[in-house]
Amino acid sequence: MKTFKKIVLGGAALVVVLAAAGLALTHQGEIAPQASIPTAEFSPQQIAKGKLLAAMGDCAVCHTAPNGKTNAGGLAMPSPFGTIYTSNITPDAKTGIGSWSFEAFERAMRHGVDREGQYLYPAFPYTAFSRVTDEDMKALYAFLMSEPAVENEAPKTTLNFPYNVRRGIAAWNWLYLKPGVVKDDEKQAPEWNRGAYLVEGLGHCSACHTPRNGLAAEKTGADHFAGGSAEGWDAPALTAKSASPLPWTKDDLVTYMKTGFSARHGVAAGPMAPVAHGLGQQSDEDLNAIATYLMSYRDASAAPGDAEALIKEKTATPKLALDTEGYRLYQGACMACHRADPSASTFGVRPQLALSTSLHAESPDNAIMAVLEGVQKPAHAELGTMPAFRHALSDAQIATLLNTMRAQYGVAEWSDLQNKVSKLRQQTAAAH
Ligand code: HEC
Ligand code: HEC
Ligand code: HEC
């Protein structure tokens, strides 16, 4: 009995000691506000470079609310733990980061801690930004601090217990944050290393393209780039697991990043559209470097395959009776734009759906999202838009249509499809 009590008391004391140590260890001090922005330290070249880096890092994509001013914050980001709002990162002293010294900015980017010492949620991809060089970090700071200051109080993030205890993120960081600039791999060429730096650092490609564990941290090893999710969309595997009917070549990747479209695969729609928009501003050297790095996740020696032959093979002969409902829906709603005859294209790109990753993927989500939402904000205006069919087609019609297309393209039908359409329709209803 006595020993039992001792153990219990000892255990309780240990918990108290650990908690106190935890509080002490996770304490981050405030970094004093700066009185004025050190604009004299910024060169025009540095600011121009920072602008490109900001496009690479999609800062404005997350830090701008719908119809809001650039970088003034307030975008609602749904997470499994509740809604997180992005902050105002314009140089406004009161509501933005105007009072942040470079030291404070760098601590946020590398360690996910704000100027006052509060831990930031990893919905802000600092695990990737942490890996950026000092030089690039300074250019980013110079650019952001030279943009117009916008006074805008972004909504406060209030998650439920225990996620509202920001100190808890210290434990998450201890497990998953690996600060330090992306290291060169000496066995690889400089181009590959440059690509690795951009992809794993500012590009934060894995934030969407890698599956996450129960604590919302990216899985590692063979799961790196094995496919993740973003805003109801699937971010497809960028590895050999890819479901794209034709293998991705280095040139395909460069063209897709540069223009938001690859005739051999399709468009960058959904959350990839603004990412592709930012990529389109990068230099050809950097896009080639990214493609070189990404190709090392697949079989670079695979034969590219013949796009025209494959389209013919998949579309020349109808696989089902032409008067079935699925074909009628396709002819009525889709064929005018997506027909297999390229000369029929009048304006915008008309992706060949017979080659689209979305229609060949294991998950139907992207095909459903494309039909429900259309493509309202393409990566670049020249790509053209696609109307939303949310109000034109029922769940059953969308399911019949998509599974008929699957059958035509020679892929197994998606199971339980109507329910999946219905779920995604509900999930995205708020935006309409
Ligand atoms: C995927 C969305 C996303 C992207 C991309 C993103 N951020 Fe953020 N960022 C956030 C969120 C969400 C927060 C707020 C986190 C919180 O409140 O805990 C944040 C917070 C910050 C903060 C802290 C501001 C404050 O007042 O506490 C800074 C600085 C910042 N981001 C800079 C950047 C820069 C620079 C880039 C581009 C290189 C960038 N962010 C890209 C989502 C993003
Ligand atoms: C905000 C989330 C997000 C980020 C960040 C992101 N992607 Fe994507 N990506 C997606 C989604 C979603 C799709 C599917 C788009 C579609 O089907 O139209 C996609 C599609 C792609 C595709 C086409 C894959 C296929 O087989 O069709 C490539 C290639 C790609 N992304 C590369 C990148 C690279 C390179 C980066 C980093 C520079 C990146 N992505 C960052 C969400 C993201
Ligand atoms: C008015 C013309 C038009 C109609 C009608 C149309 N689309 Fe589209 N669709 C487009 C354009 C243009 C794009 C490329 C958008 C962009 O990114 O700029 C596109 C993109 C897509 C994509 C994404 C392809 C990819 O490469 O990942 C899918 C899937 C799709 N459409 C399916 C359909 C289906 C199914 C229908 C019928 C219900 C349909 N579309 C009707 C014009 C159209």
Question: Pseudo-torsion of CA 424, 426, 428, 432, nearest 10°?
Answer: 140
Neighbour tally for 229: CB within 10 Å: 15
> Quick check: CB of 60 below 6 Å from ligand 1?
no
CATH of residue 238's domain is 1.10.760
The C-alpha atoms of residue 203 and residue 52 are separated, in whole angstroms, by 11
The token pair that represents 135 in the structure block: 């030089």
Residues 197 and 288 in one domain: yes
Work out the average pLDDT over 149-173.
94
**18: in domain:** no
Reported confidence tier of residue 204, pLDDT bands at 50, 70, 90:
very high
> Quick check: CB of 150 below 6 Å from ligand 1?
no
Per-residue pLDDT of 228-245, as tens digits, reads: 999 889 999 999 999 999
Residues 160 and 208 in one domain: no
**352: in domain:** yes
CATH of residue 332's domain is 1.10.760.10
Ligand 1 atom 12, closest CA:
86
- Assess contact for 105 and 184: CB atoms under 8 A: no
Residues 252 and 342 in one domain: no
The C-alpha atoms of residue 266 and residue 361 are separated, in whole angstroms, by 13
Terminal Cα-to-Cα distance of the chain (whole angstroms):
65
Residues 291 and 311 in one domain: no
Q: Is the pLDDT of residue 1 over 70?
A: no
**340: in domain:** yes
The token pair that represents 169 in the structure block: 């993120």
**9: in domain:** no
Q: Is the pLDDT of residue 21 over 50?
A: yes
Q: Is the peptide bond before 44 cis (omega within 30 degrees of 0)?
A: no
Residue 191 φ/ψ, nearest 5 degrees: -65, -45
DSSP letters, 67-117, are TPPTT-B--EEEETTEEEEPPP-SS-TTTSSTT--HHHHHHHHHH-B-TTS
The C-alpha atoms of residue 300 and residue 112 are separated, in whole angstroms, by 36
Long-range contacts of 258-261 (CB under 8 A, 24+ apart): 258/284, 258/287, 259/379, 259/380, 259/383, 260/378, 260/379, 260/380, 260/383, 261/349, 261/351, 261/379, 261/383
- For residue 122, the CA-to-ligand 1 centroid distance in Å is 9
**17: in domain:** no
> Quick check: CB of 245 below 6 Å from ligand 3?
no
Reported confidence tier of residue 378, pLDDT bands at 50, 70, 90:
very high
Question: Pseudo-torsion of CA 300, 301, 302, 308, nearest 10°?
Answer: 90
Kindly give the interhelix angle for 417-427 and 365-373, rounded to the nearest 10 degrees.
Answer: 50
Mutate to test the pocket of ligand 2, among 272, 293, 297, 357 (most ligand atoms within 8 A of CB): 272
Mutate to test the pocket of ligand 1, among 52, 89, 119, 144 (most ligand atoms within 8 A of CB): 89
Residues 206 and 239 in one domain: yes
Three-state DSSP at 267 gives strand
Q: Are strands 76-79 and 82-85 parallel, antiparallel or unpaired?
A: antiparallel
Residues 218 and 355 in one domain: no
pLDDT for the residue numbered 5:
47
- For residue 119, the CA-to-ligand 3 centroid distance in Å is 42
One-letter identity of residue 172: W
Strand partners, 64: 73
The range of the structural domain enclosing residue 213 comes to 190-295
Residues 267 and 346 in one domain: no
Q: What domain count does the chain have?
A: 3
Nearest-5° Cα angle at 312, 310 to 314: 70
Per-residue pLDDT of 380-403, as tens digits, reads: 999 999 999 999 999 999 999 999
Mutate to test the pocket of ligand 2, among 124, 210, 250, 275 (most ligand atoms within 8 A of CB): 275
Reported confidence tier of residue 13, pLDDT bands at 50, 70, 90:
low
Residues 73 and 153 in one domain: yes
**16: in domain:** no
The atom of ligand 2 lying closest to the CA of 356 is 27
- Residue, of 306 and 4, whose pLDDT is higher: 306
**13: in domain:** no
| 126 to 37, 98, 140: CA distances (angstroms) | 23, 20, 14
- Residue, of 21 and 199, whose pLDDT is higher: 199
Residues 413 and 327 in one domain: yes
Residues 66 and 172 in one domain: yes
Residues 155 and 48 in one domain: yes
Q: Is the pLDDT of residue 252 over 50?
A: yes
The C-alpha atoms of residue 164 and residue 146 are separated, in whole angstroms, by 33
**117: in domain:** yes
Reported confidence tier of residue 343, pLDDT bands at 50, 70, 90:
low
User: Which residues 6+ apart lie within 8 Å of 395 measured at CB?
Assistant: 418, 421, 422, 425
Residues 420 and 318 in one domain: yes
Domain end marker among 295, 317, 352: 295
Q: Are strands 261-262 and 233-235 parallel, antiparallel or unpaired?
A: unpaired
> Quick check: CB of 87 below 6 Å from ligand 1?
yes
Work out the average pLDDT over 18-32.
76
Domain end marker among 250, 269, 295: 295
Domain end marker among 295, 330, 365: 295
pLDDT for the residue numbered 16:
53
